[in-house]
Amino acid sequence: MRFVSVAVILAAAASPASAEQPADFVADAKLFHRVVACGGTEPLPAGFDARLVEKHCAEMARRYERFRTKYITPAQAFFAELRPADVPTTVVYPFGGGDLAGALVTYPGAREITTISLEHAGDPTRLAKLTKSQLRTALAEFRAASAGLLTLNDSTSENMRKLERGGIPGQLSFHITGMTAHGYEPVSLKYFTLTDDGAIKYLTPSEIEALRPKKAKKKRASWVDTDFSVAFTNMELSFRKAGDPKAPVIVHRHFAANLANNGFPGSPLEKHLRAKGKVSAMTKAASYLIWNAYFSGIRDYLLSNMAWMASDSTGIPPRFARKAGFTQKTFGTFKGAFLEEADPVTSAQMVELWAKQPRRKLPFRYGYPDAEKHVHLMITEPAK
DSSP code string of 15-28: -S-TTPPPP--HHH
Residue numbers in the chain where pLDDT is lower than 70? 1-18, 152-165, 218, 220-223
Among 2, 4, 170, 183, which residue's Cα sits nearest to residue 76?
183
Pair (58, 207) in one structural domain:
yes
Pair (221, 284) in one structural domain:
no
Q: pTM of the full predicted structure?
A: 0.92
What is the domain count for the chain? 2
- DSSP letter assigned to residue 215: B
Pair (249, 128) in one structural domain:
yes
- Radius of gyration (Cα) for the chain, nearest Å? 21
Predicted pLDDT at 350: 98
Predicted pLDDT at 223: 65
SS3 sequence of 148-160: HHHHCCCCCHHHH
Pair (180, 320) in one structural domain:
no
Domain that holds residue 352: 269-384
C-alpha 220/C-alpha 223 separation (Å) is 5
Residue that is last in its domain, among 195, 230, 258: 258
> Strand 279-283's sheet: what is its strand order?
200-202, 184-194, 234-241, 250-256, 112-117, 90-94, 279-283, 306-311, 376-382, 326-332
What pairs with residue 191 in β-bridges? 235
Predicted pLDDT at 154: 54
Predicted pLDDT at 215: 84
Pair (301, 250) in one structural domain:
no
Predicted pLDDT at 10: 58
Predicted pLDDT at 4: 43
Q: Contact 225/25 with Cβ under 8 angstroms?
A: no
For residue 327, tell me if it sits in a domain: yes
E-strand spans in the chain? 90-94, 112-117, 184-194, 200-202, 234-241, 250-256, 279-283, 306-311, 326-332, 376-382
Pair (351, 209) in one structural domain:
no
* Pairing verdict, β 279-283 and 250-256: unpaired
Pair (29, 64) in one structural domain:
yes
